Chains A and B, each alone.
Chain A
Amino acid sequence: MSRVRVLVGTRKGAFVLTSDGQRRHWEIAGPHFAGWEVYHVKGSPADPQRIYASQSTGWFGQLIQRSDDGGRSWMPVGNEFVYEGVPGTHQWYDGTPHPWEFARVWHLEPSRTDPDFVYAGVEDAALFRTTDAGQSWQELSGLRGHGSGPRWQPGAGGMCLHTILVDPTNPSRIFIAISAAGAFRSDDAGKTWKPINRGLRSEQIPEPTAEVGHCVHRIALHPSRPQVLFMQKHWDVMRSDDAGESWREVSGNLPSDFGFPIEVHAHEPETIYVVPIQSDSEHFPPEGRLRVYRSRSGGDEWEALTNGLPQRDCYVNVLRDATCVDELDPCGVYVGTTGGQVYASADAGDSWAPIASHLPAVLSVEVQTLP
């Protein structure tokens, strides 16, 4: 029987939640790296026992941890993330130039085929990779070298590269997203990049349709149809049918089109999930009701999923890396909150139950579907 392993990064450590394919009863192991912020934990699709974790604090900086036994034991690996060449400057909050400074790793994206190969998205925004299982990291500096870097600026959470999507049919094609610069695509394995933000409109920036400067919160794709992208922007839920060449808004009947995560159903490429948040200044669900919204039409028409989710007095947030789906049938959906709950649905969102209730604030949730 299949099993699932949910990898949860929190403000004070990492947790590993496991269940069988029924997804009714859960075991919680952890905290790993207790007291440290764990922005992301992700397993290798090529070797599910291989897991990478980003561990950091403001005191002691960044570490990368690797597990080769499914998260039971961990080993620190390389933690030197050095920008290639002279890093240059980006735009600071007050509009002045500010030198690029490494702060932390936001997202780790292991290769689908090689357990030793991982991309890392970092703050200040840049893309790194390792080909030796995390021992050493090299920057793919063509991204910062694109030329628009001096116009990038930090969002409230810092200038982070938070999303890395590799086209499963063409590993040379990579999509990334940066707050607040926008989405970019490489078609040559990260050597060169182009901004893919045509169709985005952000009223909060001086030129609302600028080539860069948009606060993209998350993008997602379905592996069977990698030219179709879905985006949760600072405001607006967007869709592209041409690999990011152009975008159109699909917010439709959402109660708010502000939010952080966006996710695609494992088996239905037109079924997508978002978690609406009241506003950019009120980071909690509208009306104090935590609702995941599902569209079965790739956007525009949305239904509220509420069964089992708190429908009163709920003022948590769901951060950009804190939703995921498993590959079982029916598809499981997982949502982690800043209140320390992880909610799971074993029926594609129709009903929900907490599988952890009292963790530290959840920063990220990933799931591995195991044989």
Chain B
Amino acid sequence: MIRVVLPAHLRTLARVAGEVRVEVASSPPTQRAVLDALEARYPVLRGTIRDAATQRRRAFVRFFACGEDLSHEPPDAPLPEPVVQGREPFLVVGAMAGG
């Protein structure tokens, strides 16, 4: 199980509190597989983290884990081992911008 922390607006949309956990089928688990699993479980999140048509990460969304910015990692790169093992969460973050 992969632990995912969503930003407040997306937790409200998905009607969840705190972390969510998703089962990822691919081995090794990847960013794309986590997002696929997340959207399958919470269809309302389709289009909010990555563009529904192009699958590109939305410009003001970032991915962090284990103190690293994974936003520019290829979507099919393996996730860090602590995330795979469930010791660290995969963070979806709304960039600081706006008013």
Chain A residues proximal to chain B, CB less than 8 Å: 34-36, 57-63, 76, 79-80, 82
Determine if B52 and A80 form an interchain contact, defined as CB atoms under 8 angstroms apart.
yes
Question: B residues within 8 A CB of A80?
Answer: 46-47, 52-53
B16 within 8 A of A: no
8 additional contacts, CB 8 Å, given A58-B97, A60-B58? A58-B59, A60-B13, A60-B49, A61-B47, A61-B51, A63-B44, A80-B53, A82-B53
Determine if A36 and B46 form an interchain contact, defined as CB atoms under 8 angstroms apart.
no
Determine if B53 and A61 form an interchain contact, defined as CB atoms under 8 angstroms apart.
no
B48 within 8 A of A: yes
B40 within 8 A of A: no
As a 0/1 sequence over residues 69 to 98 of chain B, the CB contacts with chain A under 8 angstroms (1 = contact) are 000000000000000000000000011011
Closest residue on chain B to residue A80 by CB atoms: B52
Determine if A59 and B53 form an interchain contact, defined as CB atoms under 8 angstroms apart.
no
Closest residue on chain A to residue B50 by CB atoms: A61
Determine if A57 and B9 form an interchain contact, defined as CB atoms under 8 angstroms apart.
yes
* CB of A179 to closest CB in B, whole Å: 23
- Those of B1-15 within 8 Å (CB) of chain A: 7, 9-10, 12-13
* CB of A27 to closest CB in B, whole Å: 24
Closest residue on chain A to residue B94 by CB atoms: A59
The dominant DSSP class at the B interface is loop
Question: A residues within 8 A CB of B46?
Answer: 79-80
Question: B residues within 8 A CB of A82?
Answer: 52-53
Question: A residues within 8 A CB of B44?
Answer: 63, 76
Determine if A35 and B9 form an interchain contact, defined as CB atoms under 8 angstroms apart.
yes
Tell whether A59 pairs with B61 under 8 Å between CB atoms, given A36-B9, A79-B52, A80-B53: yes
Please, could you name 23 A-B residue pairs with CB atoms under 8 Å apart, sorted by A? A34-B12, A35-B9, A57-B9, A58-B59, A58-B60, A58-B98, A59-B9, A59-B60, A59-B94, A59-B95, A59-B98, A60-B48, A60-B61, A60-B94, A61-B47, A61-B48, A63-B13, A76-B44, A79-B46, A80-B46, A80-B53, A82-B52, A82-B53
CA distance A79 to B12 in the complex (A): 17
CA distance A62 to B44 in the complex (A): 11
Determine if B48 and A63 form an interchain contact, defined as CB atoms under 8 angstroms apart.
yes
CA distance A34 to B12 in the complex (A): 10
* CB of A85 to closest CB in B, whole Å: 13
CA distance A82 to B13 in the complex (A): 22
